[in-house]
Structure 1
């Protein structure tokens, strides 16, 4: 046994997958419709976390505010563009495939809990050939968004129960894990809304090669 957890759950954007290229293209599409300047690629990560609506609001605030704009229409345009271009640039972070293989080989149930719309999460994972790896894929639409713990409780239930840990990259993830009474590991390479070691996680990793050793120490 390589660790004590029957279930390991992951956030999606900025944790398991680097989706900044595709999310950035979608938010910049919406900004172009509003006749706003694009957000530079190196600033996109700062917008992500808490769902697509919050991402758009942050982008609008960054480029001049939302007064006089139809935010609902821009949001729908963002979603439509993203759905049509969901896996152009997105990929696993380095070491992700080997890490998932090791968890599966050890009999660990693997799950996704994301604030992304569940249909989008499933489409993205399917496009990358990853969807069959997960015992549960839970996204926005059925449960309150993280940091509420409801989706993490559902993750444990859908995976058949047992000891569980969660892996994330933002305060939305660490707060949800804390509320659900689950140990949490933060990744330093994601879309951190605070420095990784200030997120309140039980451990921080800098590469997926470090995940299983960190789980074994929790």
Structure 2
């Protein structure tokens, strides 16, 4: 198993970040004097980035805002989020013991996310998860971001891994598309933030809980 590389998406895969992301969006809405949004209605947009979440929450009112005003709102959001990045965000149930086990067995572990690297590291540090990962590749780390295959292939290279002994784990169509483009097996988690069931994107395996991860890995890389 020591030659295996596991690459995880972050939001909606490793960590349930929706509560703090939605709180940050509501901070922007408070600033604008607009009604707050609930977590359920905004969760499907989490994987599309902060700018998209803000636009969805503001709705038609946003059409009247200038590009500079949108940039100011994004900055307001990011400042608040950075200060409250792990108020309510928590690792998904069952993942931490697995990371411990994988690390002990010498598995190369990495994060490949479209969150900015700085914010990703801040979150992982706050949740005491950074120590498990040999690399954290954010939107701004490599020359490409998901769904470009080089985002995943570059992440695998950062840890000295081999794509033929690597698996991607993610919650969205973007993660599945990235892995397929890179020629890497992909496990979809059903508990993430996609508005379309991850099974619709046809990952190699779908799991509903991290207790199912090790059997899924064994199916994809039998000699692991």
How far the C-alpha of 1:102 sits from its partner, in A, is 2.1
Specify the alignment match of 1:17 in structure 2.
15
Q: Which residue of 2 aligns with 1:121?
A: 120
Query: Would the aligned equivalents of 1:5 and 1:165 in 2 still touch at CA under 8 Å?
Result: no
TM-score, with structure 2 as normaliser: 0.90
8 Å contact from structure 1 (residues 164, 182) kept in 2: yes
Residues 1:197 and 2:199 are matched in the alignment? yes
2-structure distance, mates of 1:53, 1:157 = 30
Secondary structure at the counterpart of residue 217 of structure 1? helix
Instruction: Give the whole-Å Cα distance in 2 for the aligned partners of 1:179 and 1:52.
Output: 25
How do 1:28-177 residues align onto structure 2 when only pairs under 5 Å count?
28-61=26-59, 64-69=60-65, 70-143=69-142, 144-162=144-162, 163-177=165-179
Q: Distance in 2 between matches of 1:5 and 1:68?
A: 53
Other structure's SS at 1:67 match: helix
Question: For the residues of structure 1 that align with 2:43 and 2:107, how far apart are their CA atoms?
Answer: 30
- List runs of 5+ in structure 2 lacking aligned partners: none
Aligned partners of 1:105, 1:193: CA distance in 2, in Å?
A: 35
Secondary structure, in 3 states, of the residue corresponding to 2:217?
A: helix
- CA-to-partner distance for each residue in 1:159-187, whole Å, 9 max, x for gaps? 11222110000111111111111111010
- What residue is the counterpart of 2:180 in the other structure? 178
CA contact 2:173–2:198 (8 Å) conserved in 1: no
Aligned to 2:202, the other structure's residue is in SS state coil
Moved more, 117-126 or 50-59: 50-59
Contact kept in structure 1, 2:3 and 2:161, CA below 8 Å:
no
Whole-angstrom distance in 1 between the partners of 2:51 and 2:32? 15
Q: Aligned with 2:20: secondary structure?
A: helix
Q: Which one has the bigger helix percentage? A: 2
The unaligned stretches of length 5 or more in structure 1 are none
User: For the aligned residues, what is the CA RMSD?
Assistant: 1.5
Aligned length: 214
Q: CA deviation at 1:65?
A: 4.3
CA distance in 2, matches of 1:117, 1:193: 22
**Cα offsets for 1:114-152 (capped at 9, x unmatched):** 111100000110111111110110112133331112221
Residue 55 (structure 1) shift: 2.2
